Amino acid sequence: ANVIDYSLPTVAFADLAANSGEPAHELLHHMTTFGAVALEGVPGFAMSRKESLERVPQECMQSDDSSAYIEATMADGTLRRTVGTRTQQGLPQPLPGTNGCNAGAAGLRAVVEMAAKYFLNALDIAAAGAEGGDEVLMRRSGRSEAAEVTGAASQGYQTFSELMGAGDQLEHFHAYHVTTAEMGSAQYSTATA
């Protein structure tokens, strides 16, 4: 079997935070060429990720009330529990369950929101400086055509920040449990966000 080693292009968070044009244009290039980029060096990310991946499964997925999470058994017998929420028009909605569940996720959610704002600001800087940037970006979004079809007054979003601020973002955590005859019960093996 052929194995393809692929890694995403990276951009340093510190470069985006500097609000200069070069990293912003590099980011826009990566997004329009590859459709994704890895943002490295986000302050507080490693610590808040670790805390959330430890606390969210404990606080949100241990109760007997399974209405707070979704449970699925994978093909190999691994049990996956998922808890999710969303941010609607820039307002984070609570996770289902206890206050501890929300507290466990709060740090990571705040860091991701902060990084997203810098990311979008950099895209906005690059798009504003790109020749014909706004026109090209609106065509790519498909929003202008939809506005014309529905007769809406808006001709689309002027910036990436405006687009994200008006949308909904799905946020979810998975915890994977392995059950073995020797253990007699489910044990956490991995949690992801």
* CB distance 120 to 161 below 8 Å: yes
Q: Which of 87-91, 100-104, 145-149 has the lowest mean pLDDT?
A: 145-149
Does the pLDDT of residue 35 top 60, yes or no?
yes
Q: In three state form, how does the secondary structure of the chain look?
A: CCCCCCCCCEEEHHHHHCCCHHHHHHHHHHHHHHCCCEEECCCCHHHHHHHHHHHHHHHHCCCCCHHHCEEEECCCCCEEEEEEEEEECCEECCCCCCHHHHHHHHHHHHHHHHHHHHHHHHHHHHHHHCCCHHHHHHHHHCHHHHHHHHCCCCCCCCCHHHHHHHCEEEEEEEEEEEECCCCCCEEEEEEEC
With CA atoms as reference, report the closest residue to 13 among 109, 85, 115.
115
| pTM given for the model | 0.76
Which range, 29-43, 58-72, 167-181, is most confident? 29-43
At residue 156, the pLDDT reads 65
At residue 130, the pLDDT reads 62
- The tens digit of pLDDT for each residue in 122-181 reads 888 888 876 544 443 444 344 444 444 344 444 567 788 888 888 888 899 999 988 765
Report the pLDDT averaged over residues 32-48.
Answer: 93
Length of the chain: 193
At residue 61, the pLDDT reads 84
Does the pLDDT of residue 10 top 50, yes or no?
yes
